[in-house]
Amino acid sequence: MGILPVDPRRQRAVGIGLIGMAFAALVAVLPIAAPLAAAADPIDPSTADESISIWLRERDSKAPVPNVTVEVKGKSFDETFTTDPDGRVLVGLPSGGDYTVTVDTSTAPAEIGTLPAAQNPRKLTVQNTNKNVPVNFLFTTDAGAGGGASTTPSDGASPSPDSSAGSSSGSGDSSGSPAITGGLVASKIVTGIIYGLLLALASIGVSLIYGTTGLNNFAHGELVTFGALMGYLFSSILGLPGFVGIIAAVLLGGLYGFVQDTVLWRPLRKRGVGLVPLMIVSIGLALATRYLYSFFFGADRLTLPNDPSPFLRIGSVSLRFTDVMGAVVALVVLLAVAWVMLRTRLGKAARAVSDNRSLAAASGIDVDGVIRWIWIGGGALAGLSGVLIAYYQSLRWDTGSQILLLIFAAVTLGGLGSAFGALVGSMVISVFMNLSTLFIPDNLKYVAALAVMIVILLVRPQGILGRRERIG
Amino acid sequence: MDFNFIPLAFGEAISPTTAAYALATIGLVVHFGFTGLVNFGQAGFMAIGGYAFVVTSLQFNWPLPFAILATIVCSVIFAFLLGLPTLRLRADYLSIVTIAAAEIVRLSVKTPELTGLTGGATGLNGGAESFQDLNPIPNGQYLGPLHMSAADLWSAIVGWSLVLLACLLVWALMRSPWGRIVKGIREDEDAVRALGKNVFSYKMQALVLGGVLGGLAGALFILPRSLQPDNYGTQLTFFLYTIMLLGGATTIFGPLLGAAIFWVVLSLSDGLLSVAVTNNILPISSTQQGPIRFIIVGVALMLLVIFRPQGILGKKAEVFFRA
């Protein structure tokens, strides 16, 4: 590798170029986020400030349940709707408040079973300006159980593992391998790939920050949440178009990363604080900022304005517009990052610092400058990841901290310190996690991902793309 | 204005919950302060201990001594499961694996498929019955303005006795040859290895010892409350770290002092905020009040590490991580 006398001006220009490119990609791709017009509802859900998104499915096959009557009742509002072929109905509301959603199970085909009594009718509170508040119903033939929370353990009887297994295997024929169809596998892979791309955006920052400074940043999840909240602030509260929210999330995310490095991490590095205390500082920062978000944005699940109608179908998989665009934007940005890492002086300098900090400094690389750009870039990418995840699922004050361990798993799997490792690790973890739900309960998929990470550390602690010398 | 909360807040210093936090922190001091193991999964040990205790005594109807034995055995097994793959790796790997393992425990016991055994997301009630059956204290309210119930007083007495025993044990161990080797591992692992000591084995022993203390603390933790999986999230571990760094990470009595100060300060701030909010002194809603204690803890954790890493009781020279 040649010596890299990095010209600071040149470096800055490249960094700006990277972010500019990301924006160009965003702007080019997203200004058409306007929702498609919905049917003749009393209140057009695409223009209403508040709406409920109801979705009826069968629990085991996840097949939609169309043509079922659903009643939505609230103060000064009482309407009935019929689910569309996707089992969905989007209901525009006159205002926020308490609503009751009742599914008329007699209009559903008898063979798909019924809804657990605890789930129907469903009461919910819609906050002002909350759109597409999800209300999902899962039909099941498993009459007694199914509610999950409603089942109570019997007191006196000695509950053994098989008695608890009984409740889940009541529909035993579908919980095993027979239910695994090609279509189901394909849909898991597609959702896994999309989520993996979003995860990769966040993971790259963690990996590069680790590589260049040695810090395991436990506060990176909060950078992700920050992006999601900025998207919510601009798109849902201020009502600006979706792409404005996304650009704001990226810009402010980068700014946040810059401020964090300048105010906190650089002074601590200068003081020579060890890596373990830095890690604990990042935990304190994560705790404080996470609950600061909760203080300002509340503890409820928030949603970004989104159009739930299917935009693209791949086989049995139906994707929304934002799912597709999120994946495309993520892919374009990831390619841009790859280009920066491989082809620009900044990227080469970053990899040099990551490989050997002292040697990089000795060959004239402005290590602090590189680290600053890593923080800015990492913050911007985390912000983008956050806002895209908010579109993909929904957001909350702890969205980022919930995926922090997934990010760590991805980064460890791919090899700490390597940007490409982070990408590969994210894809593997995400696809694996989604496929694992074919065999284990949905709520254990995180466990599967974390278990994979531990197993990887056992057999190949340096990760897929890491180098042997990185482990101690 | 109602300032009743002030004596109650100071009463937190001797509550059974504080004892549980102190005991878990002593375990953490063995890991982090003395051996240098960055264990971010102490909440997992507490969950293992709590679940082992409640499930065996409530679901299997085991008598109290066997339930306690189960608590200890499960903590030891968990420590081995954690330690075998990770103790040969570097500190930051250990931290990630332990935090992941704690989350694996929490998510696993929470899963609806295990509701019959663990109570699922709602947890289990009444796990302390067999313990409270032994309560010799007659019903009534004790300790003047604290209005402590007989059950709480009994839990507090047993809890703090356990904490003092643990202090004695750790104090004795740390001035033994075993303690010197373990501290040597903290300072320079390779030097200890060069002296012919089996570093891995010593680390594992320390992990098991601290883990058992964490597991017992988990059992202690559920005495005044029901068993709920979400009590064992990552924030529990970080509370323990704050307590440890507050009192002093390399001291025997630091965890006691740290836990007492931690809970008194949190209860006082909660009480003051409630008064301020209900009397419209502060322009925030009562739901905004909840996050504030976590913000305080987070900021306190950062400031402690940056400005006083040795804590209140510690010596600057013995700070495992030099600032």
- Tell me the shortest Cα–Cα distance from A461 to chain B, in angstroms: 8
Q: Is residue B38 part of a domain?
A: yes
- Of the candidates B106, B96, B94, the residue with the CA atom closest to the CA atom of residue B44: B106
Cis bond leading into A134, ω under 30°? no
Q: Which of A216, A443, A461 sits opposite B111 (nearest CB)?
A: A443
pLDDT score recorded for residue A127: 65
- A223-275 pLDDT, tens digit per residue, is 999 999 999 999 989 988 889 999 999 999 999 999 999 999 999 999 888 88
Output A90 or A360, whichever has higher pLDDT.
Answer: A360
- A432-465 pLDDT, tens digit per residue, is 999 998 888 888 889 999 998 888 877 877 777 7
Question: Is 70 exceeded by the pLDDT of residue A22?
Answer: no
Contact between B83 and B211 (Cβ < 8 Å): no
Residue carrying structure tokens 């630091």: B254
- B1-42 pLDDT, tens digit per residue, is 677 788 888 888 899 999 999 999 999 999 999 999 999 999
Contact between B277 and B289 (Cβ < 8 Å): yes
Chain A contact set for B235 (CB, 8 A): 287
Chain B contact set for A402 (CB, 8 A): none
Dihedral sign of CA atoms A232, A238, A239, A240 in order: negative
pLDDT score recorded for residue A225: 96
> Rg of chain B's alpha carbons, rounded to an integer?
20
CATH number of A42-146: 2.60.40.10
User: Residue B160 is which amino acid?
Assistant: W
Alpha-carbon torsion, ordered B280, B285, B289, B290, to 10 deg: 150
Q: Which of A148, A161, A443 sits opposite B117 (nearest CB)?
A: A161
Q: Which string of b and e fits B200-236 if b means at least 16 CB within 10 Å? A: eebbbbbbbbbbbbbbbbbbbbbbbbebbbebbbbbb
- Name residues 66-85 of chain B within 8 A of A (Cβ): 85
User: Residue A12 is which amino acid?
Assistant: R
Chain B contact set for A295 (CB, 8 A): 284, 288, 291-292, 295
- Name residues 151-190 of chain A within 8 A of B (Cβ): 151, 153-154, 158-161, 163-165, 167-168
The helix or strand, by DSSP H or E, that contains position A380, with its residue range, turns out to be helix A367-392
User: Residue B264 is which amino acid?
Assistant: V
Chain A contact set for B85 (CB, 8 A): 454, 457-458
Tokens of A400: 């980022």
- Of the candidates B92, B94, B165, the residue with the CA atom closest to the CA atom of residue A282: B92
Chain B contact set for A273 (CB, 8 A): 305-306, 321, 323
Q: Is residue B83 part of a domain?
A: yes
Nearest-5° Cα angle at A416, A414 to A419: 70
pLDDT score recorded for residue B8: 83
* Interface contact flag, A280 B100, Cβ < 8 Å: no
Domain with CATH 2.60.40.10 in chain A: 42-146
Confidence of residue A71 (pLDDT cuts 50, 70, 90): confident
* Interface contact flag, A450 B101, Cβ < 8 Å: yes
- Tell me the shortest Cα–Cα distance from A444 to chain B, in angstroms: 7
Tokens of B134: 């032994």
What is the interface size between A and B, counted as CB pairs within 8 Å? 180
Domain with CATH 1.10.3470 in chain A: 8-29+185-470
Q: Is B43 on the interface with A (CB under 8 A)?
A: no
Q: Which of A148, A159, A446 sits opposite B116 (nearest CB)?
A: A159
Q: Is residue B162 part of a domain?
A: yes
Q: Which of the residue ranges A105-119, B38-52, B100-114 has the most confident prediction, judged by mean pLDDT? A: B38-52
pLDDT score recorded for residue A130: 67
Structural domain boundaries, residue B174: 5-119+145-318
Q: Which of the residue ranges A100-114, A152-166, A180-194, B191-205 has the most confident prediction, judged by mean pLDDT? A: B191-205
Count CA within 13 A, CB hemisphere, residue A333.
Answer: 35
Chain A contact set for B35 (CB, 8 A): none
Q: Which of A295, A441, A457 sits opposite B113 (nearest CB)?
A: A441
**Residue A177, C-beta contacts closer than 8 angstroms, at least 6 positions apart:** none
Three-class DSSP labels, B289-318: CHHHHHHHHHHHHHHHHHHCCCCCCCCHHH
User: What is d(CA B127, CA A312) in angstroms, rounded to the nearest whole number?
Assistant: 52
* Interface contact flag, B112 A281, Cβ < 8 Å: no
Contact between B53 and B67 (Cβ < 8 Å): yes
* Interface contact flag, A294 B291, Cβ < 8 Å: yes
User: What is d(CA B259, CA B272) in angstroms, rounded to the nearest whole number?
Assistant: 20
pTM for this model (two decimals) = 0.77
- Taking chain B, what is the end-to-end CA distance rounded to the nearest angstrom? 44
Q: How many domains does chain B have?
A: 1
User: Which whole-number Å values give the CA distances from A160 to A166, A175, B309, in the listed order?
Assistant: 10, 20, 48
User: What is d(CA B127, CA A416) in angstroms, rounded to the nearest whole number?
Assistant: 43
User: What is d(CA A342, CA B284) in angstroms, rounded to the nearest whole number?
Assistant: 50
User: What is d(CA A273, CA A258) in angstroms, rounded to the nearest whole number?
Assistant: 20
Chain B contact set for A291 (CB, 8 A): 291-292, 294-295, 298
User: What is d(CA B323, CA A277) in angstroms, rounded to the nearest whole number?
Assistant: 8
Question: Is 70 exceeded by the pLDDT of residue A162?
Answer: no
According to DSSP, residue A469 is labeled: G
Contact between B50 and B222 (Cβ < 8 Å): yes
pLDDT score recorded for residue A383: 96
Strand partners, A92: A51
Tokens of A61: 């096959």
Chain B contact set for A472 (CB, 8 A): 89-91, 93
User: What is d(CA B217, CA B202) in angstroms, rounded to the nearest whole number?
Assistant: 23
- Tell me the shortest Cα–Cα distance from B167 to chain A, in angstroms: 25
Contact between A341 and A347 (Cβ < 8 Å): yes
Q: Is B301 on the interface with A (CB under 8 A)?
A: yes
Chain A contact set for B91 (CB, 8 A): 275-276, 472
- Tell me the shortest Cα–Cα distance from B75 to chain A, in angstroms: 19
Question: Is 80 exceeded by the pLDDT of residue B124?
Answer: yes
pLDDT score recorded for residue A37: 37
- Tell me the shortest Cα–Cα distance from A437 to chain B, in angstroms: 13
Question: What CATH number did the domain enclosing B275 receive?
Answer: 1.10.3470
User: What is d(CA B171, CA B164) in angstroms, rounded to the nearest whole number?
Assistant: 10
Residue A356 phi/psi, 5-degree rounding, is -160, 105
Q: Is A444 on the interface with B (CB under 8 A)?
A: yes
- B192-247 pLDDT, tens digit per residue, is 999 999 999 999 999 999 999 999 999 999 998 889 998 999 999 999 999 999 99
User: Residue B272 is which amino acid?
Assistant: L
Q: Is A285 on the interface with B (CB under 8 A)?
A: yes
Tokens of B258: 């740290």
Q: Is residue B277 part of a domain?
A: yes
Confidence of residue A203 (pLDDT cuts 50, 70, 90): very high
User: What is d(CA A367, CA A213) in angstroms, rounded to the nearest whole number?
Assistant: 10
Nearest Cα residue in chain B from A291? B291
Q: Is residue B134 part of a domain?
A: no
Average pLDDT of the segment spanning B263-276 = 89
Question: Is 50 exceeded by the pLDDT of residue A160?
Answer: no
- Tell me the shortest Cα–Cα distance from B301 to chain A, in angstroms: 5
Q: Is B299 on the interface with A (CB under 8 A)?
A: yes
Contact between B204 and B82 (Cβ < 8 Å): no
- Name residues 235-274 of chain A within 8 A of B (Cβ): 268, 271-274
User: Residue B309 is which amino acid?
Assistant: P
Chain A contact set for B78 (CB, 8 A): none
**Residue B31, C-beta contacts closer than 8 angstroms, at least 6 positions apart:** B37, B39, B42, B206, B207, B210
Strand partners, A310: A320
Average pLDDT of the segment spanning A179-198 = 85
Q: Put residue A77 in one of left, alpha, beta given phi > 0 → left and psi -120 to 50 → alpha.
A: beta
Beta-sheet strands, E only, within A77-204: 77-82, 88-93, 97-103, 122-126, 133-139
Strand partners, A124: A99
**CB atoms closer than 10 angstroms to residue B144:** 9
> Rg of chain A's alpha carbons, rounded to an integer?
24
Q: Is residue B232 part of a domain?
A: yes
Average pLDDT of the segment spanning A82-101 = 79
pLDDT score recorded for residue A61: 66
The domain made up of A8-29+185-470 is a member of CATH 1.10.10: no
User: Residue B52 is which amino acid?
Assistant: A
- Among B57, B61, B111, pick the best mutation site for testing chain A contact (most A Cβ within 10 A): B111
Question: Is 80 exceeded by the pLDDT of residue B168?
Answer: yes
Residue A2 phi/psi, 5-degree rounding, is -75, 165
pLDDT score recorded for residue A86: 73
User: What is d(CA A433, CA A429) in angstroms, rounded to the nearest whole number?
Assistant: 6
Tokens of B178: 């075993």
User: What is d(CA B92, CA A276) in angstroms, rounded to the nearest whole number?
Assistant: 8
User: Which whole-number Å values give the CA distances from B295 to A414, B100, B220, B226, in the listed order?
Assistant: 33, 23, 26, 26
